């Protein structure tokens, strides 16, 4: 059982995870639990205020350290009471370490994870210094708050829990898990808008199909995400398939067909 605790002003947003699809089933089956903590419950005043104006001026509001610290500590102490020895505590922000599959897999090895989702212009830096182990970003763009990032992280971790995905293979056959993009998929009808499904997929020759798929996956990665390919050490078969793809693609570039 994985334990996720999220500190957020909008706890209901997390229902998007627990109410739909694979993540819903995983939670219902006891693979993980998710608890939300609202810093307003720790504000200590009748207005339940958690934010104030930034020192030095400027637009917007900043989340105050104390209600956040109390909420984060309550989250960690809950995890401790469930037997989680050490709960990594992360703050979700565009200033953080970029999330990738390797980072997801690292987080997935821990029993618990506490996440702080900020709103407004951010949180008081002293709260980060005192309570946060690391900042995590889900990409180079700005979100209105950390909640969607928290859900992205939980979803990506939950899919890596053994038993969560129905097919024993699908977690490992996927894009990025091996550091390359997915191959293209097709389903019925066999011809759609004058476009036929690649013949090899109808051949029933599983070795050939596997080979074609790997070639497509490598070729797409080469074309679309050369940065990913650079990080990989291709084996002899993969290098040969990519060469084949490049040769085919060279034809495409010349003729505009294929």
Binding residue for ligand 6GU (CB under 6 A) from 46, 81, 129, 141?
A: 141
First to last CA, the chain: 48
Contact positions with ligand 6GU (CB under 6 A) in 47-76: none
Using rule CB under 6 A, residue 179 touches ligand 6GU: no
What's the closest the beta carbon of residue 129 comes to ligand 6GU, in angstroms? 18
Secondary structure, 3-state, 53-84: CCCCCCCCCEECHHHHHHHHHHHHHHHHHCCC
Q: How many residues bind ligand 6GU (CB under 6 A)?
A: 14
Smallest gap from Cβ 131 to ligand 6GU, in A, equals: 16
Q: Counting contacts by CB under 6 A, is residue 139 touching ligand 6GU?
A: yes
Q: What is residue 116's three-state secondary structure? A: strand
Q: CA nearest 127: which of 91, 86, 95, 92?
A: 91
- 138 near ligand 6GU, rule: CB under 6 A: yes
| H helices, E strands: number in the chain | 10, 9
Residue with smaller CB distance to ligand 6GU, 139 or 163 = 139
Contacts made by residues 228-237, CB under 8 angstroms, sequence distance 24+: 228/179, 228/180, 228/181, 229/180, 231/179, 232/179, 232/180
Residue placing its CB nearer to ligand 6GU in the complex, 150 or 242: 150
Q: How far apart are CA 33 and CA 30, in angstroms?
A: 7
Considering the complex, state which of residue 54 and residue 145 has its C-beta at the smaller distance from ligand 6GU. 145
The 89-108 site mask, x for binding ligand 6GU (CB under 6 A), equals: ---xxx-x------------
Which parts of this chain interact with ligand 6GU (CB under 6 A)? 92-94, 96, 136-139, 141-143, 145-146, 149
């Amino acid at each position: 059982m994985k334990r996720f605790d999220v500190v957020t002003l909008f706890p209901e947003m997390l229902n998007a995870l627990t109410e739909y699809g694979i993540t819903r089933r995983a939670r219902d089956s006891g693979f993980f639990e998710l608890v939300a903590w609202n810093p307003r419950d720790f504000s200590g005043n009748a207005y339940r205020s958690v934010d104030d104006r930034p020192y030095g001026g400027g637009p917007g509001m900043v989340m105050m350290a104390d209600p956040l610290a109390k909420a984060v500590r309550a989250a960690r102490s809950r995890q401790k009471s469930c037997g989680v020895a050490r709960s990594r505590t992360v703050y979700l922000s565009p200033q953080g370490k970029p999330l990738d599959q390797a980072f997801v897999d690292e987080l997935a090895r821990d029993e618990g994870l506490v996440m702080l989702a900020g709103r407004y212009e951010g949180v008081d830096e002293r709260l980060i210094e005192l309570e946060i182990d690391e900042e995590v970003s889900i990409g180079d763009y700005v979100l209105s708050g950390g909640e969607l990032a928290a859900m992205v992280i939980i979803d990506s971790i939950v899919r890596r829990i053994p038993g969560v995905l129905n097919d024993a293979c699908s977690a490992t056959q996927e894009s990025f898990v091996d550091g390359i993009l997915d191959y293209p998929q097709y389903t019925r009808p066999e011809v759609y808008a004058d476009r036929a499904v690649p013949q090899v997929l109808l051949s029933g020759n599983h070795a050939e199909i596997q080979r074609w798929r790997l070639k497509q996956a490598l070729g797409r990665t080469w074309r679309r995400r050369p940065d990913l390919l650079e990080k990989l050490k291709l084996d002899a078969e993969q290098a040969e398939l990519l060469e084949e793809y490049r040769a085919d693609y060279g034809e495409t570039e010349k003729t505009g067909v294929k």
